[in-house]
Structure 1
Amino acid sequence: MSEHASDDNQQQQYARHHEQGLARRLSLWRDAQLARQALRDAGDPGLVLDLPSGSGRFWPVLAERANRVILAADRCSDMLDIAEAQSPAKVRKRIRTFQSSALSINLSANSVDCIFCMRLFHHVADSEERKAILQEFYRVTRDTAIVALWVDGNIKAWRRKRQEAYRRSVGGAPAVRNRFVVCRTEIESEFIEAGFRMVGHRDFLPGYAMWRVYVLRKTVD
């Protein structure tokens, strides 16, 4: 099997993973609810950049506002193709896609009302990389950013930390190598350093789950 074919399979598996099982469907419902609430908290923006868009799972939510203009970007063009292929035609025609990295967005300064970033920061362990992404968000948005990630200060984060400590003590590998829990005070300081103030946040399950969605507003000197 070619490397390209292998990548295609991985991307299709990623898309299917988020649609399987009752628990997963309930999780998707809650994710969509959080996204709607965050968009309202951000002032119901009219021009939104979904980055990275991944499988396009939030496109139907973004398209619920009839006059919203939606840009969608991902560093992987094949993922954009998959997202477009599996989206309903009435949603797909509302989306303008382009290939781009979050570290270097192919848009000019102050191009959008809001950057919608639901599936990136929990994959970024390095503080300097997070800061670089946030600085790029600050450049491109003229108003708000919606950012989701795993944070500490809840039961699941405490359990995960304890399990990881046990695995290290017995010489085992981490359970999940590409997802990371961030200290809340650390990430919130990074938001401020990048030039944002926090409008608010919403938790997937307050006090229990790690998933938190922040709404940030750009500050202008």
Structure 2
Amino acid sequence: MTLRSTIQGLRASAEVANDEHKVKMRTGEFVELADQLEPLLSKLPDLRIGLAEVRNLDVGLPPGLAQEITLFTAGLRALATELPSVGVDHNLQTTKIQVRSAVAQVAAIESLVADAWHEFRSQQPPPVNRDLVDTLARGGVDVEDIRKELETAQARLLIASTTRIPSLGAVQRFREAIEAIRRCGKRLGEVVDADIAKGIVGSQEPSGVPLAWFTPDRLERLRSLGVIDRFQVHLR
């Protein structure tokens, strides 16, 4: 082998090695960009739904934000489609800037939606004495329908409290749950007034209630509830 052929062989090997290095570098860049794009594309549909939900609330959202997300999503999908066909020698700097900008933009929109939803779902539900419902049930008062409706509504509020971004119909379900709890409180008041409720609750305490509490009017109201037979007199 001559010196010239040896040099040519070394040059060819160097070119191959350089090409392999370029391919490895480009592969790493593709993987990095894909790792950034995929979460964005999977997150955007839920984010669009969440944005539509919080638009039903009295919060100030930038005008045209929904349209902006639609165009933004289309642009990201086009970018993800074009990325695999980019040549080895193509400069990806512009693409990297676009992806970084997209990451920041999605984070800003997500924060806006999440904050609006959190503020809305943090409102306190109407006060309903759950212990009173259970006590009345033990006392023989038929409050099963009220109990079921109350449990369902409270479960819906609990689900809402664990979601960062509202799902489709979440705002309406939350409002319906709040209204259901308010309705339960009203129905509970219609079943038994505060005075009678106090007597029923007190009678289940170890100390009971004084015999003097059982006035003719109260006895009649207990009789109308169908629970008068549950009361007993204990001499001390």
TM-score by length of 1: 0.21
More strand by proportion, 1 or 2?
A: 1
The TM-score normalised by the length of structure 2 is 0.20
